[in-house]
Structure 1
């Protein structure tokens, strides 16, 4: 069983990977993006709830539906590629299984991500996969930066 410190470290890294995925895909499309992670101030039971949360601020109000879908998919796709989800056969199966009929039935999707990715296609997922894998080293640098300097304000 993991210690509390190990759980928090895992949550922090998972949040950093997720938000870095959004930022990487957004920036690929020329959308200025600022990923942030922060401690979940409302967590009462670290074994039950995430201890770290995140957000990615997109500094563009005119994002095409295609790019919005792809940025929305990128966080969960980055988590999958980083191996923070185990037991899944492939990225397509993982996304199909986790993206439910509504945000309430989805597994691990925030409302913002779920709504942004609405209408996603296999082509969108393939494009996100290609962007993430081609720039994986950059993503890891962003992850390390977020972990070293998390947002204290939330």
Structure 2
């Protein structure tokens, strides 16, 4: 059932914009809003924090169907859920979960991924960006390029 719902949504709401997304290198705000309304930004986030709380198989089906319509949109939804939201759920404090997961599930905040650096490429073992605790705050020093969901 979930496959049919997501497939129809992707076919009707995402596919018509796929070539535009590829040409412009960005997903139109109206598509992002529709994804948020369908709770695609909360796929892996538990219902307690406003998400759908899907199991892994259902999540994979959603990403697969969205990606069939537009791979770029599939990557955006996948990075937001898998790389940004899920680690906060697994390792964040309760306060962090409430602060970040609730708006992320609603699509009010979009998670990003910043691995690639000018001198290291995507070789995680050679990244130079670091974080240093300065009193009560963390200071991040470094340079990133090609940030997924960065704009």
TM-score (normalizing by structure 1): 0.26
Structure index of larger Rg: 2
With CA pairs under 8 Å and 6+ residues apart, which has the higher RCO, 1 or 2?
Answer: 1
TM-score (normalizing by structure 2): 0.26
